[in-house]
Structure 1
């Protein structure tokens, strides 16, 4: 189960440019030809997955965040990317089995319940197949009861769970605990778990990997050792009930803050119905990430989201004062919740040096 040889960086860069150009015009045939043509020329499938398709997908997200492409274009490009991965997978054989005759390790790869960003998990599944693992890829948004039912029916050795959004941490925690309860180890990955895996440790996962290659190396050594069966235990900081109370009050907090913004931000008087809906959606995301930061007890989770949101709003011409006002209104409503208020204050403080959104540059 060794890693394949890698392709020259200039070849990978050229393939990324061809793929990006095809995605810009939503030309699925050209996108597929760019990747499969590189494979015909000798570029390993793993390099195409992780050094071409993966980075291009990140660039799609960056272009959306900067306001240079819309949601529909982002969805179209992502759908094409998924089909390109499928085309590459159909023409490449699974990797070699171990020479010892030992049965290959069986991995179930899935996104946690509510997680719709499936491409990272798909890339991991294909990388593992290419390295000789037997893989069940369950895709996006797998409810935990359905995941457990699947595991009972298969000979899985280890479960790899993916999540990109920290708001899914409570759901991921439930999935990790449920899988461990039937005696299987859990490896987690994705942006939701923090750049250094800090939230993976908080949730009690058996292993964490920053990317697909690291996950494959970890699994090649052997499945993580499962933790002894134990009753589910919440992180001790949740005893203050602030996470529960804030998440239960989500709808009320959004409505109250929206009403307060209409008085605090005069420009809202001229908003269209669609602009008001977008503002309510933004407020809901803010409350969701506030809840996630309370669950993880990490204000940096919230400040990271707030500064990212500020860049998104700036790229769309929304006055920055509206976001500051929203945090002030939420903090005032949470004056009886010291931990929640501290996270909101940290978010407001982080808005002071918000950088401008990235400028257009050559795609490489």
Structure 2
């Protein structure tokens, strides 16, 4: 039986630019080998791969990814959408995702939704139009029309940074995240365990912040506390927003003894405000953050917070996509990475 021929497209290139055939000639290998070095490097012997990469470097060759994607029906690109690139809480997730995908021969394309569903939907359309091989989304709150489009798109989707609540929307496809509601509950339980009874919340006016507030309020109510006052800030949230919001909370309830902030940046801003007022933390008021960012460990006093394994979330999302794109079963499609309450001196 004759061997099946593999067509390797020799892409067009500007005059003077190196071509795949030039790389093959320089490295002393076939076009197929050069193609494998670019698309599936793990299938080549280390010496062969090194020779091809050295030839690519010497010639300054840049692969025509469009030609390869037309032949293989793969773009080798995965797109991720985050609410904002200015909030460092997402950076570790994206960095780990990008590295995991790169190790598997894929590149990451990043979009920012600015916490707006319409912007997220427009980005999804753009990325699907570019024929990305997979999508990573933040949260589970996409509108039903977008969820239906994602299910019909035929590309693997991983949602992150959330977990479905009872009766809530199921994931579109795959999920790696944690329960924001339970994280809020855990924060309230920690503050009650430390003796604080009059609680308040400062956060962003966005979905995951509201879920943490819901859990925080539910746990406080279950322990007999009064209704928890909250201040929600329209994104983007700045570190100095917390001071003004504290004043508004105190005007409504002067006896507040502890404040849970939706992220460590707000909590650090609240510490600065307390220092300006001459208030001891936690003597006059306790402060708790969320995320366990570096500022939580550097602040004075050091911040109690809820730790999220942000890098692990990105790595697991990347692994799930790579497994699916390889035509294999990723096993567990819904992965709860959990969270951990970190007690420090601010509470």
- Fold conserved between structures, TM > 0.5: no
Q: Which protein has greater RCO, CA pairs closer than 8 Å, 6+ apart?
A: 2
* Normalised TM-score (structure 1): 0.31
Q: Which has the higher helix share?
A: 1
Q: Which has the higher strand share?
A: 2
When Rg is computed on C-alpha atoms for both structures, the one with the higher figure is 2
